[in-house]
Amino acid sequence: MESLQTNDALVTRTHGTDLNDSRVDLVLLHGWGMNSGAFSSFIPYLHDYFRVTTIDLPGFGENAHHLPKPYTVEALANMISAQLPKHCVLAGWSLGGLVAQKIAIDVPQKLAGLITIASTPRFSAGPCWPGITEDLLTMFEAQLEKNYRKTLERFLAIQAMGSATAKNDIKTIREHVSEYPEPAEEALKRGLGILAKEDLRQIVGRISVPTLRLYGRLDSLVPTAGIDRICELHPQADTVVLPHASHAPFISHPQQTADIVTSFAANLQQQRAS
């Protein structure tokens, strides 16, 4: 059973509303150019333990008409945080992970835990910081002006690169994402700007809620070479690297990802009960 909530703010979808109240609230935030359809094939792996809520980032999917001005991580975090269930576990993938980290910094009382999936406090590469190269980001910005659909296709291909199931991963995400409304062009453009410029490295150590950082070893957008640096900035976080996954481990390795997420949430409940 699915519950759809709409209001003057954001559309949210809660999956598994027929389950009993002992289930943990888990909120999923998607990445750039995507929408909550990216999680469609992953959610069934979570139903036994979680009541799952998906929220399209402002400017994307069912929230394509919501465009905060200015379009910043802070503005996105403010809009999302207002819709979160109490004491939920918040999981953000890629750009969604950047927003989730900002929420954990600004309103930790809203969260029971934080999970980042293939995410980082800074996406763009810099001195002593592995990440997305400036050339690649510039290329996407230029292509976006000409044909955003081709740009998204190429971005999908890069996300799946390295995975043994890359072709199937791309097909799965494409099919489910296409079931939602198209993103606002402004959100695509400003979202790329966030990936290029946003930097939470100086404040990410303030995250006080229990945190799990999940990576794919084959990820070219969030390279494993930067994981040690992230650990130095946020040593309180637990870190798990899936050896055969790329940028979308919940697509290529859904059961393994679900088991890791469930184990993290179960530990949180045990700690709260003790």
- Among the options 219, 246, 252, 253, which is catalytic? 219
The answer to whether 48 is a known catalytic residue is no
Q: Alpha-carbon distance 107 to 6, whole Å?
A: 23
The answer to whether 94 is a known catalytic residue is yes
Q: Alpha-carbon distance 176 to 180, whole Å?
A: 8
Beta bridge partners of 15: 2, 52
Nearest C-alpha neighbor of 242 from the set 259, 229, 228, 262: 259
- Among the options 36, 40, 81, 94, which is catalytic? 94
Q: Alpha-carbon distance 119 to 231, whole Å?
A: 13
76 contacts 92 by C-beta, under 8 angstroms: no
- Among the options 30, 234, 247, 253, which is catalytic? 247
74 contacts 40 by C-beta, under 8 angstroms: no
The answer to whether 15 is a known catalytic residue is no
Residue 166's alpha-carbon distances to 21, 102, 158, 234, in angstroms, are 37, 30, 9, 31
Q: Alpha-carbon distance 223 to 246, whole Å?
A: 9
- The pair of structure tokens assigned to 106 is 């600004």
Which residues are tagged catalytic?
Answer: 94, 219, 247
